[in-house]
Amino acid sequence: MTQRYRLHYAPDNASLIVRLTLEEMGLPYDAVLVDRSASAQKSAPYLALNPHGRIPVLETPDGAIFETGAIQLWLADRHAAMIPALAHPDRGDALKWLFFLSNTLHAELRMLFYPELYTGPDLTHHAALRRGLRASLAAHLERLDAVAGAGHAWFNGDNVSVLDLYLVACLRWIALYPRDTAGWWDRKAALHLDALCARIEARPAAARCARAEGLGERPFTAPDYPNPP
């Protein structure tokens, strides 16, 4: 019998990617709310699980795992064929794009959303950083749209992959944040990414996640802010 996992989450945070993955795999888990309004991610009990104080953490029989891409890869290798297996010739291609999502796209989104963590309080520096990041992210998304249309089984293929789930969450956040410049990127111009959002949104796992985190009926094709926040 599969042991229940414990997912430490906050609504519409990176934990959404892990929740989507757990739901798609049909794995039992308990969702443990991390109250960001009280900085619970910086508390001693949470830092014992993730010393970096970021969300998510997944508690497993092998110990606590942090970093979204690492959690997805661990789950995929342990439970479901949502990424090519170790000996599969497509394994390297799938991994390089999974880590591109984690290390490059997601990391740049974090800088776009929280520029003060990287440049300090000067608003002029915030604006300059965001301008550069928007240009960089637009180029990344154009490349991802091309890969999504290339017919790979491990990305926007017939079966859902961990890359699909990672990317649709990122695309959701791009549509919503930063709030003062929401809508800066036109996803409708990226036909393959737009179709991917619609396909994932139609799945029961996505609907369950949307209900659990208050993301509305169209969390990926017509994103709105979570309620409660």
Q: Which domains does the chain have, with CATH numbers?
A: 91-200 (1.20.1050.10)
Distance CA 18, CA 227 (A): 19
Q: Helix 91-100 and helix 123-148: axis angle, to 10°?
A: 160
Distance CA 12, CA 210 (A): 9
Tell me the residue type at 85.
A
**pLDDT (tens digit, 9 = 90+) per residue, 30-86?**
999 999 999 999 999 999 999 999 999 999 999 999 999 999 999 999 998 899 999
What SS3 state is found at 64? Answer: strand
Distance CA 137, CA 134 (A): 5
Distance CA 18, CA 36 (A): 18
What's the whole-model pTM score?
0.96
**pLDDT (tens digit, 9 = 90+) per residue, 149-207?**
999 999 999 999 999 999 999 999 999 999 999 999 999 999 999 999 999 999 999 99
What SS3 state is found at 28? Answer: coil
Q: Which residue's entry shows tokens 């993955």?
A: 21
